[in-house]
Amino acid sequence: MSVLPILQWPDPRLMEICAPIEAITSDIEALAADMLETMYAAPGRGLAGPQVGAMQRIFVMDAGWKEGKPDPLVCLNPMLQEVSEERATNSEGCLSIPGISADVSRPAQVQMVWTGLNGGRYVQSFTGFAAACVQHELDHLDGVVTLDHLDAQTRAALEAEYAA
């Protein structure tokens, strides 16, 4: 395992839509292990394939490890199955836009389906910070970053702060 370099915005790869993972290979297993090591070292709570230059539909997350024991999740080809009408606003940071956080409104609860490294299909509901984390990482797989959720004035101010 190794810590991978994390791409920094505005790297154009962060704006690309990722390809589905066709097969769980030893390369995918090694990528997942490296992504987890990178996420914990950063230290972050989630990391998506494009953030490390892997343009595939994979993300790792551990929403609560900073408050408790690690409980890592590796998600291949994740998709939202259900989203609540209720919304929640959270302050979101991003390992690819260090030092910047923004309030983002998202569905408060989501149900996601994904494939695990063992080839099994998983379905789980997420609420609170974990729901925001899942949606943030899914955004990365579709070429969307936190700044894309903001109004023009807020985005311009944060971009200026990031560039400074």
Active site residues: 137
User: Distance between CA 114 and CA 162 in Å, rounded?
Assistant: 33
Give the angle subtended at the CA of 19 by the CAs of 87 and 162, to the nearest 5°: 55
- Burial string for 46-84 (b: 16+ CB within 10 Å, else e) reads bbbbbbbebebbbbbbbbebeeeeeeebbbbbbeeeebe
3-state secondary structure of 131: helix
